[in-house]
Chains A and B, each alone.
Chain A
Amino acid sequence: MDPIAAKYIGAGIACIGMGGAGVGVGTIFGHYLAAAVRNPSAADGQFPRLIFGFAVTEALAIFSLLIALLLLYAV
């Protein structure tokens, strides 16, 4: 296979990992919303934790994006 084509295919495959993180972020916000609707008075106090969980989950998406960017521009 042409190495440049392989590079682009690899970058595309690396981006699939972001889908999994998308599921994770959706789960976090969905559960937060469900909990906030049940107990709105406790919702504001948990907002920093929501953002922290979101950020940690999103970090995994960032790693796959990083692999894709490295394949596109650095390899």
Chain B
Amino acid sequence: MADPIHQFQINKLFTIAQIGPAEIAFTNSALYMILAVTVICAFLIGSTRARALVPGRLQSVAEMLYEFVADMIRGATGPEGMQFFPLVFSLFAFILVANVMGLIPFTFTVTSHIIITVALALLVFLTVIIAGFWKHGWHFLKIFVPSGIPIYILPLVTVMEVFSFFVRPVSHSVRLFANMLAGHITLKVFASFVIMLGAAGVLGMLGATLPLALTIALTALELLVAVLQAYVFAILTCIYLNDALHPGH
């Protein structure tokens, strides 16, 4: 029987280039990333092709997606945060599609690998730092010194703020990765119970309906988690960008 970790294996499909000892290969991870981007582009370009004043079904789905992300940014950062709309929308759409695509049996979940989520989280982290210094110069450092704090606990609060700022990319990336990893392992473990019980005769087959029902329920839960984690990643991106736009709380 395949172990529950097997689904996360990265397989080389073909080699692109060989630079010294390092091999640049096209893997199943890269394939699914390209697939996710293709799905997003095909959907958005195809649905907004007509540019109808009264949107059809597909176009209204695309418009709802736009409005959803736009409301999220306006709510968290104010109207000036809309300059980061492309970044937040791309992150949200990519994570959403990658998560949901990974729920299809026999597919690969891109976001269950920490290297992918760390890359996305570092992108946000560096964007916040660069945009903060770009817009506010040294005033950006005011995010470490909250106003309205008594002077005698200010050093302690500043140390904690610095720590919590630099630990952000860690929690930002590990949250998505751990949720996807744990959910998929749980699904596979329960699915293997079905096979184990089903092999044990008629009585076992009757007993196997219980883990089968649980697997279906867990799949529904995982669908919720997949959408929720994409939302959480996007809203945290907005909240972090708010620090870059409005330092000093």
Interface residues of A (CB under 8 A from B): 48, 51-52, 54-55, 58-59, 62-63, 65-66
Contacts and interface: CB of A to CB of B under 8 A. Distances in A.
Given A58-B175, A59-B175, A65-B174, A51 B76 contact: no
A65 B177 CA distance: 11
Interface of B: 72, 75-76, 167, 170-171, 174-175, 178, 231-232, 235-236, 239
A66 B235 contact: no
B175 A55 contact: yes
Contacts of B236: 52, 55
B112 to A, nearest CB: 13
Contact of A62 (B72, B171, B231, B235): B171
A65 B171 CA distance: 11
A62 B174 contact: yes
- Chain B binding surface, main DSSP class: helix
Nearest to A56: B171
A59 B175 CA distance: 7
Contacts of B171: 55, 58-59, 62-63
A65 B114 CA distance: 13
Given A48-B72, A48-B75, A48-B76, A65 B178 contact: yes
Contacts of B174: 62, 65-66
Given A62-B171, A63-B171, A52 B178 contact: no
A54 to B, nearest CB: 8
A6 B16 CA distance: 43
Contacts of A52: 235-236, 239
Contact of A48 (B175, B178, B235): B235
Nearest to B239: A52
A48 B238 CA distance: 10
A66 B174 CA distance: 8
Which of A52, A54, A55, A65 has the largest count of B CB atoms less than 10 A from its CB?
A55
A59 B167 CA distance: 10
